[in-house]
């Protein structure tokens, strides 16, 4: 179900009856039936192309025993992808009017992420970030244009917020362009400085007036990207398993990895969606922590797929790393995913020590599985499946006692 293409309160009618360019006004925070639009779904798919490219390069780096540099490059590039996606998502939740100009500017942002995706391999292999930076700047300048549009038709407080967003975003892009001219030795410090500045823009812009994002819409948008990233993980692992079977005749070696990987992905989906997270998004402070924290959720979910590919390559003798390192490529991002999901929202819906300890305990056990050799991924998958079963059993026991009902998130 997609949302109405016009803000609450605007006259309805067939699409042809509405002006092609309309004021970009804030939508109602409590608008009914607010759901993702087809444009947003296409936007997500374009971003997943970049995520997939980052995952492919991470696989190559880890398999060639360059895990440290590979993880660093992955974290840096994933920030650019995630930050541009997140900023658009929260803006669209508050201002999407689906007119012609809004669509065109959004399509420009999609073009920007595809430029970024095209440059990821050179960024990993040659530390040439030109295409990545240019693609990122395209996306962010387009985002600034959207904020300037919103400022034109808003009240005083909202106009000031929109202008702070637009100005902050544009200033940051000057700094990012500095990565193209600085020598390689100084790029790391500039990158860290720019990350801090980018993260501060929303805090600065919304310090007096909060944008009218929609809690249900935001939780749905984050959930959709989580599903797409997990789907990309399944696709990457399937290709790796298929290659292992067809090219190396190694069914016995890859079957435990395939089974364990499937259990991990299914459990990750269950754990993420088991709680009604939109009810936790009530205040600006909660929304900032939750929204920013999803960098680790998305990055770790995508890294699980890369880890499964590495595990398959190591199992068939195509990777230059040990079994321990290949196992860690799966278990470490899986544990990070569990801990981050628990910290961001799962813990707010758990009652009692037993329920609270399920995910942290599962994360610790998954890390311990790293040392189990060829069976590490399979056992990690079984651990996650058992943790899901334990969570279901504990919830069922609690809901059987009315006085022990779960509290509302605060």
CATH number of the domain encompassing residue 296: 1.20.1410
Looking at the fold, whether 264 and 173 belong to one and the same domain comes out as: no
Q: Is the pLDDT of residue 31 over 90?
A: no
Long-range contacts: 86-89, Cβ < 8 Å, 24+?
86/291, 86/294, 87/140, 87/143, 87/169, 87/202, 88/43, 88/139, 88/143, 89/40, 89/218, 89/221, 89/222
Confidence of residue 400 (pLDDT cuts 50, 70, 90): low
259 and 337 share one domain:
yes
Query: Which one-letter DSSP state was computed for residue 347?
Result: G
Residues 102 and 249 occupy one common structural domain: no
The pair of three-digit structure tokens given for residue 105, joined into one six-digit string: 């500017």
- Mean pLDDT in residue range 39-54: 94
Query: Dihedral of CA 388/390/393/395: which sign?
Result: negative
Q: Are residues 200 and 219 in the same domain?
A: no
Residue 6 lies in a domain: no
Q: Per-residue pLDDT for 24 more than 80?
A: yes
Assess whether 260 and 142 both reside in one domain.
no
Indicate the residue among 205, 236, 271 that finishes a domain.
Answer: 205
Q: Give the integer Cα–Cα distance in Å for 102 and 113.
A: 17
In eight-state DSSP terms, residue 31 is -
In a domain, 13, yes or no: no
pLDDT recorded at residue 250:
74
**Residue 360 sits in the same domain as residue 294:** yes
- Is the model more confident about 347 or about 106? 106
Enumerate long-range contacts of 389-395, CB under 8 Å, 24 or more apart.
390/358, 391/271, 391/274, 391/355, 391/358, 391/359, 394/352, 394/354, 394/355, 394/358, 395/355
Q: Quick check: is 369 in a domain? A: yes
The residues, any chain, with a CB within 8 Å of residue 181's CB and separated by 6 or more, are none
85: tokens are 């996606």
Cα angle value 248/259/377 (rounded, 5°) = 85
Which residue from 142, 147, 116 is spatially nearest to 52, judged by alpha carbons? 116
Residue 401 pLDDT = 55
Report d(CA 351, CA 116) in Å as an integer.
44
- Gap between the Cα atoms of 63 and 48, Å rounded: 22
107 vs 284: which has the higher pLDDT:
107
The number of residues in the chain equals: 410
127 and 231 both lie in a single domain: no
Which of 176-190, 243-257, 293-307 bottoms out in mean pLDDT, i.e. has the lowest?
243-257
Assigned domain for 225 exists: yes
Residue 15 has pLDDT above 90, yes or no: no
Model pLDDT, residue 10: 46
Mean pLDDT, all residues of the chain: 87
Calpha distance 162→209 (Å, rounded): 10
Q: What is the mean pLDDT of residues 35-45?
A: 92
pTM of the model: 0.88
In angstroms, the CA 377 to CA 277 distance is: 29
Mean pLDDT calculated for residue range 58-80: 93
* 4 in a structural domain: no
The arithmetic mean of pLDDT across residues 99-116, rounded, is 96
**Averaged pLDDT, 123-137:** 93
Where is the domain boundary, 173, 205, 237? 205
Say whether both 237 and 193 belong to one domain: no
CA torsion 344-350-353-355 (nearest 10°) is -100
- For 157-172, write each residue's pLDDT tens digit: 889 999 999 999 999 9
What is the full DSSP assignment across 192-228?
HHHHHHHHHHHHHHTSS------HHHHHHHHHHHHHH
Task: Please indicate, yes or no, if residue 10 is contained in any of the structural domains.
Answer: no
Statement: residue 275 has pLDDT above 90: no
Domain count, the chain: 2
Q: Where are the alpha helices (DSSP H) in 64-99?
A: 67-95
Say whether both 143 and 230 belong to one domain.
Answer: no
Domain span holding position 132: 34-205
Question: Residues 179-222: pLDDT tens digits?
Answer: 888 887 778 889 999 999 999 999 999 888 888 888 888 989 99
Q: If pLDDT is split at 50, 70 and 90, which confidence band does 235 have?
A: confident
Q: Which of 146, 170, 205 is the last residue of a domain?
A: 205
The pLDDT of residue 210 is: 83
**Residue 16 placed within a domain:** no
Cα separation, 133 vs 80, whole angstroms: 9
Is there a single domain that holds both residue 121 and residue 253?
no
Same domain membership, residue 50 and residue 197:
yes
Single out the residue of 202, 400, 364, 166 nearest to residue 291, CA to CA: 202
Q: Tell me, yes or no, whether 379 lies in a domain.
A: yes
Instruction: State residue 410's pLDDT score.
Output: 32
pLDDT tens, 315-349? 888 888 999 999 999 999 999 999 999 998 877 77
- Residue 326: per-residue pLDDT: 93
DSSP state of 154: S
| Pair 92, 139 in one domain | yes
CA-only gyration radius of the chain, Å: 22
Q: Confidence class of residue 236 from pLDDT cuts 50, 70 and 90?
A: confident
């Amino acid at each position: 179900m997609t949302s109405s293409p016009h803000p609450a309160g605007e006259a309805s009618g067939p699409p042809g009856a509405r002006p092609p360019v309309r004021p970009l006004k804030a939508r109602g925070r409590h608008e009914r039936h607010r759901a993702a639009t087809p444009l947003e779904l296409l936007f997500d798919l374009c971003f997943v192309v970049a995520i997939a490219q980052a995952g492919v390069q991470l696989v190559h780096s880890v398999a060639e025993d360059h895990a440290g540099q590979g993880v660093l490059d992955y974290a840096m590039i994933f920030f650019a992808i995630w930050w541009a996606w997140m900023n658009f998502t929260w803006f669209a939740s508050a201002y999407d009017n689906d007119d012609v100009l809004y669509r065109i500017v959004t399509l420009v942002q999609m073009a920007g992420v595809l430029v970024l995706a095209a440059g990821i391999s050179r960024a990993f292999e040659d530390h040439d970030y030109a295409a990545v930076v240019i693609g990122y700047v395209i996306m962010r300048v387009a985002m600034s244009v959207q904020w300037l549009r919103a400022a034109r038709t808003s009240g005083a407080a909202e106009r000031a917020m929109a202008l702070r967003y637009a100005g902050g975003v544009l200033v940051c892009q000057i700094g990012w362009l500095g990565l193209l001219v600085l020598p390689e030795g100084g790029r790391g410090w500039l990158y860290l400085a720019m990350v801090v500045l980018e993260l501060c823009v929303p805090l600065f812009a919304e310090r007096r007036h909060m944008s009218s994002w929609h809690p249900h819409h935001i939780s749905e948008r984050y959930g959709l990207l989580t599903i797409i990233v997990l789907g990309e993980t399944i696709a990457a692992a399937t290709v790796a398993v298929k290659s292992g079977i067809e090219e190396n005749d190694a069914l016995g070696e890859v079957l435990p990895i395939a089974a364990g990987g499937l259990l991990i992905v299914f459990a990750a989906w269950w754990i993420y969606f088991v709680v009604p997270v939109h009810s936790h998004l009530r205040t600006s402070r909660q929304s900032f922590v939750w929204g920013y924290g999803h960098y680790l959720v998305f990055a770790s979910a995508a890294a699980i797929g890369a880890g499964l590919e590495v595990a398959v390559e190591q199992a068939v003798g195509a990777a230059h790393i040990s079994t321990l390192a290949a196992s860690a490529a799966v278990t470490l991002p899986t544990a990070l995913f569990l801990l981050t999901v628990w910290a961001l929202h799962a813990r707010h819906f758990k009652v009692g020590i037993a329920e609270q300890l399920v995910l942290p305990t599962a994360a610790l056990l998954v890390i311990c599985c790293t040392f189990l050799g060829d069976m590490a991924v399979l056992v990690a998958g079984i651990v996650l499946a058992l943790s899901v079963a334990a969570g279901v059993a504990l919830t069922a026991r609690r809901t059987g006692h009315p006085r022990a009902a779960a509290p509302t998130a605060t």
